[in-house]
């Protein structure tokens, strides 16, 4: 006998290869918790509306709970015969309580059922991601506070540009992650909409109480168009986009850890516990974990492009192409969670070389802009000051000196407006203190930013 839930229309058994190609049970089985949760809410609503009896509902609910416990213990094999997790749960229910189990699907389609399961999955995943982002922010704040007095070169084009506080640099990533949290919270609003009750595409002929199901499943609202509810995945695409942005931020931070831990920079040491070695070179200590985060970013990008491409040409409403959404979602969720977990722990296992950072901030003419600002204070236009300082820098390069190594007479050869007070503008630490503008690297402002971050994180 044909075991398919849709088998009544067909005379022939499905080809074995078609079964294997069509089946999603191999990956969507991880939705079983959400599928059963949704089925229980649907069952209670059917009883409340008098569509099934309270006695039938009680038996169905008790059996669904039993099936969930069996799935929790790993007592089912997820083979192609079940096609998908929805079919497995329904088959298990019917096997246990007979035809009574077939009543559960009343007023429901796999189309709105799977849309519900995915929304529940993404909702839980966003909750986990938000907590993990916070853990990473906490690690950045702790690292900033611990190393508050250290200065370093700020870079543009990977060339030394101006001296900044290390804490200011680290807190830039805090701000990026804060925006990531905001984006996921916004995403949550569009995820937390109940699609159940849309049935296949046109709604149901039964008098379903959708508001009751939404309340039971803690959805903020219900979908307003049944065709849209079963056929769009913009909420999932938004999750993938937000995940891609977050991974981009983690990748940039990872890239800097890789560079900074190299002998060429020597800014940071990563704990042995978060590095690996070489199979042939005994001396090697490789920053493999941040490299993997950097590499896995492309993987998440690929999932976003994959689902965008899948959805772009689909006519309304549901098409089997949409089965391809799940593997992209699952892998993105898993990748995102482990990368956040790793980076937050890794940040607690690094130490900075303050002397090396200071040395780097003192070489490379990082106070050139300060010298130009000094001349502006003396009455020169900025463009004229810029040209003059450029000439002074060129002279210093030719003579293998830093700006603060030049004598007053050497500098006066370029402009008579330079006096002895110029040296107060040529010290990197003084340069940092002078940038005490809101959002700048001045210590007072960075301290305020740090305190604000701690308030936002409730620490």
Enzyme catalytic residues? 157, 278
CB atoms within 10 A of CB 383: 10
Cβ(302)–Cβ(212) under 8 Å? Answer: no
Cβ(15)–Cβ(23) under 8 Å? Answer: no
SS3 assignment, position 155: strand
Query: Tokens 């189990």 belong to which residue?
Result: 101
Cβ(239)–Cβ(187) under 8 Å? Answer: yes
The length of the chain, given as a count of residues: 459
- Running DSSP on this structure, what letter comes out for residue 401? -
State both tokens at 164. 């900044």
SS3 content of the chain, % helix, strand, coil (to 5): 65, 5, 30
Angle at 130 between CA 124 and CA 131, to 5 degrees: 95
Query: Tokens 């069996």 belong to which residue?
Result: 70
CA distance 459 to 453: 9
CA distance 11 to 8: 8
| Nearest Cα to Cα of residue 6 among 74, 115, 91 | 91
CA distance 122 to 117: 9
Whole-number CA gyration radius for the chain = 31
Query: Tokens 């993938």 belong to which residue?
Result: 240
Phi (first) and psi of residue 14, to 5 degrees: -70, 135
**Integer distance in angstroms from the first to the last C-alpha of the chain?**
63
Query: Tokens 């805090």 belong to which residue?
Result: 174
State both tokens at 356. 């090396």
Cβ(357)–Cβ(264) under 8 Å? Answer: no
Query: Tokens 């089925």 belong to which residue?
Result: 39
CB atoms within 10 A of CB 457: 15
CA distance 228 to 211: 18
- 299 beta partners: none
State both tokens at 105. 């699907």
């Amino acid at each position: 006998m044909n075991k398919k839930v849709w088998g009544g229309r067909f005379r022939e058994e499905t080809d074995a290869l078609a079964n294997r190609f069509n089946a999603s049970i191999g990956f969507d089985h991880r939705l079983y918790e959400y599928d059963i949760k949704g089925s229980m809410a649907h069952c209670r609503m059917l009883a409340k509306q008098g569509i099934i009896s309270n006695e039938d509902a009680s038996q169905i609910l008790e059996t669904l709970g039993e099936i969930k416990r069996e799935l929790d213990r790993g007592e089912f094999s997820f083979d192609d015969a079940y096609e998908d997790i929805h079919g497995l749960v329904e088959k298990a229910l019917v096997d246990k309580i007979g035809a009574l189990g077939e009543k559960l699907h009343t007023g429901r389609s796999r189309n709105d059922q799977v849309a519900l399961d995915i929304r529940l999955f993404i909702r839980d995943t966003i909750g986990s991601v938000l907590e993990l982002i916070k853990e990473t922010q906490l690690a950045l704040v702790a690292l900033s506070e611990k190393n508050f007095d250290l200065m370093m070169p700020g870079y543009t084009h990977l060339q030394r540009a101006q001296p900044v506080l290390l804490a200011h640099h680290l807190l830039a990533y805090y701000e990026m992650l804060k925006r990531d949290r905001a984006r996921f919270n916004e995403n949550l609003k569009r995820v937390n909409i109940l699609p159940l009750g849309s049935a296949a595409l046109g709604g149901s002929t039964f008098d379903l109480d959708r508001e009751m199901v939404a309340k039971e499943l803690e959805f903020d609202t219900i979908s307003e168009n049944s065709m849209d509810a079963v056929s769009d995945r913009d909420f999932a695409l938004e999750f993938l986009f937000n995940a891609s942005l977050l991974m981009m931020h983690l990748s940039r931070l990872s890239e800097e850890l890789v560079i900074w831990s190299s002998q060429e920079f020597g800014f940071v040491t990563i704990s042995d516990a978060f590095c690996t070695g070489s199979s042939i070179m005994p001396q090697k200590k490789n920053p493999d974990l941040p490299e993997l985060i950097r590499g896995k970013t492309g993987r998440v990008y690929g999932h976003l492009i994959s689902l965008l491409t899948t959805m772009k040409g689909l006519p309304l409403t549901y098409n089997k192409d949409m089965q391809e959404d799940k593997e992209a979602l699952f892998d993105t969720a898993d990748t995102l969670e482990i990368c956040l977990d790793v980076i937050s722990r890794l940040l607690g296992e690094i130490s900075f070389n303050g002397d090396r950072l200071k040395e780097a901030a003192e070489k490379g003419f990082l106070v050139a802009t300060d010298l130009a600002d000094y001349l502006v204070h003396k009455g020169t236009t900025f463009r004229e000051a810029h040209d003059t300082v450029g000439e002074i820098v060129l002279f210093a390069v030719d003579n293998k000196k830093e700006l603060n190594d030049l004598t007053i007479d050497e500098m006066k050869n370029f402009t008579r407006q330079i006096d002895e007070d110029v040296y107060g503008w040529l010290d990197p630490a003084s340069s940092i203190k002078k940038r005490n503008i809101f959002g700048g690297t001045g210590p007072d402002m960075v301290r305020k930013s740090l305190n604000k971050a701690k308030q936002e994180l409730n620490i």
